[in-house]
Amino acid sequence: MPDLIAPHGGRLNDLYLQGTELEDERTRARDYPSWDMSPRQLCDSELLLNGAFSPLSGFLGKDDYERVCTDMRLGDGTLWPMPITLDVSEAFADGLEPGQSIALRDLEGVLRATLEISDIWTPDRELEGERVYGTRDLKHPAVDYLVNRSNPVYIGGKLKGIDAPVHYDFKHLRDTPAEMRARFKKLGWRKIVAFQTRNPMHRAHQELTFRAAREVEANLLIHPVVGLTKPGDIDHFTRVRCYEQLLDHYPEQTTALSLLPLAMRMGGPREALWHALIRKNYGCTHFIVGRDHAGPGNDSNDEPFYGHYDAQDLLVEHQDEIGIEMVPFKMMVYVQDRAQFVPADEVREGEVVMNISGTEFRRRLQEGLEIPPWFSYPEVIKELRRTHPPRHKQGFTLFFTGLSGSGKSTIANAVMVKLMEMGDRQVTLLDGDVVRKNLSSELGFSKEHRDLNILRIGFVASEITKNGGVAICAPIAPYARTRAQVRELITAGGGFVEVHVATPLEVCEERDRKGLYAKARAGIIKEFTGISDPYEVPESPELRVDTVGVTPDQAAHRVIVKLESLGYIR
């Protein structure tokens, strides 16, 4: 059947077992060592198993991995730009051997697939970052993931699918590649242009996708990513409701919407190639690529990681081999006199052009300001406002950090009382000592225990914040990396305001309210922050307060003013 030909002429994979084969493997898997997959591995395995990553039939083995990293090809020469690897802990890998099988489970422990091991190796993950993403800079989300989050050992091997993951949300919008192809066939769509997105779509996007489809005389597939996108992106529940609203504004029968559970890497040019291969597998003939496709933002020197058009250039080079045609994404602007969006290069002299940048749009959303209907349909804005209310209605975490005796608890208490006096917020105080009594009573002060303590506080604060409350935390939190992790966790669902209580060590020691510094100096208390243990000073907190010569009331007032200026209270 020609419609099941995947890129490079290969077949579209469906790795799920059926009938007795399935039951036999399920029985055998009871004795296999079990690995609980991470959210990224869950996304990857879903797309491996349903054929979206054809021709791959499992997680990459070592030879394929090496060649993918160096020249974007599998061992047999087939184009494949992204290493799809199964990273596991040393403890899990210990004792495993090629030829053995392992069970892959989801977060609830349900068996999703088994993998017959072909290779086990310890990669150089920083080198992988450099080869694949062209950098070792941790500002690149994929490099950060590789270095700080992924596990140290890789296992390669073929997959056997047991149970496909169940998605309880937007079931009517989830299609496997085979289902999507069948749908196109049924509709009689022969040319399909796919649009990839991880953001809400506004009128400019609608216009550019519509024009792209018209230009190549194709139907349009809006194919947003709902797996893992860039930290800080708008959640997929909100986005999908927005896409559904937008769909009504396309001419009937021209456009389809389907969700792609992909874990993006923000890999720029290589990622564009990967996206195109995936869309080819879903049966698309054309793919829209814009400026900075799947771009990771700027590096540590505030320079872009990739050139604006690198992704387009790389895809054009390989489009024939993939068998999909790139449609360049045009920058659209609104021409007031024509009451219409047009490509920027078609604006006539003297015409008044209007545009709202992404940053300006987010600001208006955050501050509850007007967003004009020429920019986005009111139904779309209404959906966005439901889950992204203005800042003064959002939850937030106020995170005090500083040395013992710096005054964190005193200021935190004063701020709490002031917020309660205002009356329209539910406030929870997670003070260092209180947390250690209740949440973390078994923990000591090693780096490992301190980190665990802070991550627990972060977890509780993120739940409070997500649900619209205010969490005030006041631990020492001496490590920058852990504070950053907490920030990331919390900003996914609301605000995060870091206050460094920067009272100098000499002053804290002189005050020595609890007599702990004396004990630390005498060596009675070990690993004491500032004396025999580190405190990494925050580089760019939202606010820094030194309590020398300042009353607690004045310090708390500064915090309140900061919260007002950030828009969290008014």
The residues annotated with a catalytic role in the active site are: 197-199
Residue with tokens 């597998």: 281
Nearer to ligand PPS, 176 or 410 (CB): 410
Smallest distance from ligand PPS to CB 538, Å: 13
Nearer to ligand PPS, 333 or 435 (CB): 435
Sheet harboring 192-197: ordered strands across?
Answer: 255-257, 219-224, 192-197, 286-289, 325-328
Smallest distance from ligand PPS to CB 474, Å: 7
Query: What is each CA distance from 410 to 199, 383, 399, 433, 499, in whole angstroms?
Result: 42, 40, 13, 12, 13
Start-to-end Cα distance in the chain: 64
The contacts found for 228-232 with CB under 8 angstroms, 24 or more apart, are 228/39, 228/40, 228/43, 228/262, 228/263, 228/264, 229/198, 229/264, 230/141, 230/198, 230/264, 230/266, 230/296, 230/297, 231/141, 231/488, 231/491, 231/492, 232/491, 232/492
Q: Determine the Cα–Cα distance for residues 570 and 560; give it in Å rounded to an integer.
A: 10
Angle, helices 236-247/378-387, rounded to nearest 10 degrees: 170
Nearer to ligand PPS, 13 or 409 (CB): 409
Smallest distance from ligand PPS to CB 426, Å: 23
Nearer to ligand PPS, 381 or 430 (CB): 430
Smallest distance from ligand PPS to CB 432, Å: 3
Nearer to ligand PPS, 118 or 529 (CB): 529
**Structural tokens at position 228:** 């893992």
Query: What is each CA distance from 535 to 208, 421, 433, 461, in whole angstroms?
Result: 51, 34, 18, 22
Nearer to ligand PPS, 403 or 470 (CB): 403
| Strand boundaries in 198-343, DSSP class E | 219-224, 255-257, 286-289, 325-328, 332-335, 340-343
Q: Determine the Cα–Cα distance for residues 346 and 303; give it in Å rounded to an integer.
A: 29
Judged by the rule CB under 6 A, the positions of this chain that interact with ligand PPS are 404-405, 409, 432-433, 436, 445, 450, 453-454, 475-478, 514, 516, 525, 527-529, 533
Smallest distance from ligand PPS to CB 470, Å: 19
**Structural tokens at position 487:** 């920030």
Smallest distance from ligand PPS to CB 291, Å: 43
User: 146: phi > 0 → left, psi -120 to 50 → alpha, else beta; which?
Assistant: alpha
Q: Which residue is nearest to ligand PPS (CB)?
A: 432
- Helical residues (DSSP H) of 425-500, grouped into ranges: 432-438, 447-466, 480-491
Smallest distance from ligand PPS to CB 548, Å: 17
Nearer to ligand PPS, 50 or 529 (CB): 529
Answer whether 317's CB lies under 8 Å from 329's CB.
Answer: no
